[in-house]
Amino acid sequence: MSFLSGFFAKKEGSVLGVDIGSSSLKVVQLRKERDQAILETYGELALGPYSGGEVGQATNLSAEQITETLKDLLREAKVTTKDCGVSIPYSRSLLTLAKLPYRENAQEQKTVIEFEARKYIPVPASEVQLDWFIVPDAGPAGPGDTPAKGEPAGGKKVEVLVVAVHNDELAFLQNVVTGAGLSASFYEIEIFSTIRAVVEEPVKPVMVLDIGAASTKTYIVERGIVALSHAIPIGSQDITRAISVSNNISIARAETLKKNEGMAHGDADTSPPELVFSRIFSEARRVLSQYETSHRKSITSIVLTGGGGVTKELGVYAKGFFSIDVRVADPFAKTAAPAFMRPVLETIGPEFAVAVGLALRKLGET
């Protein structure tokens, strides 16, 4: 199956995006009307309570437990379609950019890429599903991209995005989808869904900070392609825990405070959210600077997304931390919905970026 084909597709009926995260499940149902994506319903269920924990906590549930949770969510959100696309967690996949030999003949190029790409996968080829995408040339070839004087044409290189997902992860997701009575036409690594939903810049480099429950994923996206990815082992559940400990309250109560008070909770400069976010942002800034130095390019903006992105006033704090433009993701802006719902959709948007991106791709199949 392909993880990349159809990534940029544009194409009636209702469709569903299903985001299976570590701390919650999210669904977004859309339909197309006059080339416009219409929001029909959406919903989220925390997984913590299903594992004996609390809202906001990362979990490691079985396929059977997630299936039952997904059934509950589909019922509560009043989902009416079975046609869906499903997310693959970034942590369960491998993405890498590789310079591989160039061939004029398309079939030869395909054979070379599939052979060479295996060298970048740290597990036996039989254990993964492999996909790849040739990155479009940004302009004049740079050093190493064209044959040196006297070098044969075979020395030319092409940049390829190599993607691999373990067979066990795909089997896990397929069991969940089948058990919930859904029909998935594709499984997509969450970063590609996020790009489709929240990245507007078509050419210049943009940093996406996806603040999940257990970790934060940092992506540099250039020309719509992931040019760099980096995981930071700190996530939104760490902010919730810090608020819980400092106030001696439950995780559930701390999760509510995080969303309702956010960066304003606690004393200035020493609030639990600020102490945790400063660690996340410091590492992100290091990655940003390293990329700019090594590639001699400037990152034009930062997009905040993921569950941590709904932390109140986070955008204001981030703008003061970084020296470039920062915005909080608003994936529902790509859908039509009643005006009275817009404030709510803008607030919860960062959590639903993946589900919206999946549903938008699925609409392209209809």
- CB burial class (10 A; 0-12, 13-18, 19+) of residue 60? exposed
The Cα–Cα gap between 214 and 239 comes to 10
pLDDT confidence of residue 269: 55
pLDDT score, position 136: 76
174 alpha-carbon distance from chain centroid: 19
* 8-state DSSP, 23: S
How does residue 181 score in pLDDT terms, banded at 50, 70 and 90? very high
Asked whether the predicted pLDDT for residue 264 surpasses 70, the reply is no
pLDDT surpasses 90 at 361: yes
Confidence of residue 9 (pLDDT cuts 50, 70, 90): very low
Spell out where the chain has E strands: 14-20, 24-33, 36-46, 83-88, 93-101, 128-134, 157-166, 183-189, 206-211, 216-222, 225-232, 301-305, 325-328
pLDDT, one tens digit per residue, over 202-231 is 889 999 999 988 899 999 998 888 888 999
Q: What is the mean pLDDT of residues 157-177?
A: 93
Q: Cα separation of 176 and 181, whole Å?
A: 9
pLDDT at 272: 81
Percentage of the chain lying above the pLDDT 90 cut: 51
Q: Which DSSP symbol is given to 16?
A: E
| Percentage above 70 pLDDT, the chain | 90
**Which segment of 6-10, 102-106, 286-290, 344-348 scores lowest on mean pLDDT?**
6-10
pTM over 0.95: no
313 vs 142: which has the higher pLDDT? 313
Of 98, 294, 305, 290, the residue nearest 217 (C-alpha): 305
CA-closest candidate to residue 97, choices 276, 229, 293 = 229
Q: Rounded to whole angstroms, what are the CA distances from 335 to 28, 45, 66, 330, 340?
A: 11, 22, 28, 10, 14
- The pLDDT-based confidence of 14 (bands split at 50, 70, 90) is very high
Domains present along the chain, CATH in parentheses: 14-92+167-240+258-363 (3.30.420.40), 93-165 (3.30.1490.300)
30 beta partners: 15, 39
Question: Strand, helix or coil at 214?
Answer: coil
At 143 the pLDDT is: 37
Partners of 232 in beta bridges: 216
Angle between helical axes of 272-295 and 236-247 (0-180°, round to 10): 150
Is pLDDT at 351 greater than 70 in this prediction? Answer: yes
CB 210 within 8 A of CB 216: yes
CB 37 within 8 A of CB 89: no
Closest CA to 27 of 9, 11, 39: 39
DSSP state of 343: H
